[in-house]
Amino acid sequence: MRRFLVGLGSILLILAAIVGVRTVTVTSRQLGAPPAGTHRTGPVDSVAVAQHLAEAVRFRTISTNDATVTAHTELVALQQWMQRTYPKLHATLTREVIDGSSLLYTWKGTDPTLKPLLLMAHQDVVPVDPGTDSAWTHPPFEGTVDKGTVWGRGAFDDKSALVGILEAVERVVASGVTPTRTVMLAFGHNEEVLGSGAAAIADTLERRGQLPALVLDEGAAVTQKMFPGIDQPIALIGVAEKGYQTFELAAVSGGGHSSMPPRHSSVGRIARAVVALEDHPMPAHRNGPARELLEYLAPEMPLPSRAVFANLWLFGPVVERILAGKNTTDALQRTTTAPTMLQGSAKDNVLAARATARVNFRLAPGETADDVERHIRTVVADDSVTITRVGVGRAPSAVSSTNTPEFRVMQEAVAGAYPDALVAPFMVMAGTDSRNYSGRVAAVFRFMPLSLTAAEIAGAHGTNERVTVANMAHAVTFYEALVRRYAVDAK
Ligand SMILES: [Zn+2]
């Protein structure tokens, strides 16, 4: 016994020593010194940029699922406005219309051996929910600049990126340089419904042998106070995005009058299946983007958090519990399960002949709809419940490595616009047009160079969508730094 205790004691001592050493020596993954050179032409005229964004918002380029409604006229008007507003860009880059209203611009670089840089944004916006117009501080399509903020549908998602990219490239063109690496701009026209425009552009580039080396689309952003103990803003770079699949569970029974019910009704069996799914989430992934996020943030954390997060080899299960404690962080580590729709009989005194539930899953990278279906069958464990896929599913994206020159250049461009911010990889929950490059391009990033509050994030697809004028100046600085570092200065 004594020998056992001594043995146990020395193992604990060794573990404590490893934890201590790793906690103290864990090295920061942030850029050391700020990158040399400002990589911008001069100060950004934020008032002019904000005015341009406000003008872009006034085009009602609304995407809906109603095939009879077309935003084509508005898209054409927006595109004519782009030609008027960014004349130098349009005189220098070639412009192609693809899939009806999507745009592909090419600024040919001098070195054909370097694969292109591709900057993406979408021209379309979601509709305003009927009846919510009056809740807007400024009418959604008026394009108002008020007290340092640009208001309107699309001001953030995604015309901030569209205008930010156009402004930045216009500035670089105006400075008289020619890029070494080819720069391409891809502006889809139906991201909010089908994304066929972005898919057509990706197919075109693959056919031409012009797939880029770095793709940047919308996604995560610069956040404040996201992790306790970290005071700096954190620029979250989306290195992956989740997939999407809805399943329908159905149970049938004889139906009939409710006065003499069976022991278990179809409604009861579906209810039990739904509860079982909620009680048994899909497994957490300890090696996915959540781990990388923590590896980037751990060195910046104060003690004792750093001791825990810098030693995931030991504290993995503890961290898994911590992440599971909040919906926002739990979604980073696993495929999520969300029961959304339930249906039974249409009358309170009639048994349901058929009861159904729909459960929406957001797939973590590495998992497939088949994996989810197997999980559902095992957990529900009721052969009388049928399980079918409904709607169009979407596979999760591949994960872009952070250990590449492309991720580093993203860090450098962030440092140009947000010198105080930390950079960390992240997983984006929503789908973006950039999924068309998953598996075709190794470095696909989803990042909006905007520093956003929770209220501002809620504006996308919601009420009072807006972006600050200061954010737009940062966005232009970021895109310009990226173009200059990765394409103009490419060697
Ligand atoms: Zn968007």
pLDDT in tens, the chain (491 residues): 777 777 778 888 887 887 787 787 788 889 877 676 657 778 999 999 999 999 999 999 999 877 555 678 999 999 999 999 999 999 999 999 999 999 999 999 999 999 999 999 999 999 998 989 899 999 999 999 999 999 999 999 999 999 999 999 999 999 999 999 999 999 999 999 978 999 999 999 999 999 999 999 999 999 998 887 899 999 999 999 999 999 999 999 888 889 989 989 999 999 999 999 999 999 998 888 888 999 999 999 988 888 888 888 888 898 899 889 999 889 999 999 999 999 999 999 999 999 999 999 999 999 999 999 999 999 999 999 999 999 989 999 999 999 999 999 999 999 999 999 999 999 999 899 999 999 999 999 999 999 998 888 888 889 999 999 999 999 999 999 999 999 999 87
How far does the centroid of ligand 1 lie from the alpha carbon of residue 122, in Å? 7
The domain segmentation of the chain, as residue ranges, is 46-240+397-488, 242-394
Helix residue ranges, H only, 103-224: 159-174, 196-207
Domain 46-240+397-488, second-level architecture: 3-Layer(aba) Sandwich (3.40)
Q: Which residue has the tokens 């809620």?
A: 458
Which of the following is catalytic: 158, 167, 191, 218?
Answer: 191
For the domain covering 242-394, report its CATH number: 3.30.70.360
Q: How far, in Å, is the centroid of ligand 1 from the Cα of 165?
A: 15
Amino acid at position 88, single letter = K
Decide the pairing of beta strands 214-223 and 234-241: antiparallel
User: In sequence order, what are the residues at sequence separation of 6 or more whose Cβ sits closer than 8 angstroms to the Cβ of residue 193?
Assistant: 63, 64, 65, 124
> What pTM was estimated for this model as a whole?
0.92
Distance 316 CA to ligand 1 centre (A): 34
Centre of ligand 1 to C-alpha 179, Å, is: 28
* Distance from residue 192's CA to the centre of ligand 1 (Å): 7
**Which residues fall inside 5 Å of ion ligand 1, going by CB?**
157-158, 218
- The amino acid sitting at 489 is D
Using the mean position of ligand 1's atoms as its centre, give its distance from the Cα of residue 153 in Å: 11
Instruction: Note whether 411 and 31 are within 8 A (CB).
Output: yes
Q: Which of 437, 372, 430, 379 is CA-nearest to residue 406?
A: 437
- Quick check: bond before 302 cis, omega within 30? no
Q: For helices 46-57 and 72-85, give the axis angle rounded to 10 degrees.
A: 160
Residue of 166, 164, 158, 77 lying closest to 121 (CA atoms): 158
Active-site entry in 74, 124, 292, 367: 124
Mark whether 74 is an active-site residue: no
Rg (CA), the chain: 26
CA–centroid distance, 136 to ligand 1, in Å, is 20
| Closest residue by Cα to residue 243 from 372, 376, 125 | 372
Query: Does 191 qualify as catalytic in the annotation?
Result: yes
CA 193 to ligand 1 center in whole angstroms: 10
Domains 46-240+397-488 and 242-394 agree in fold: no
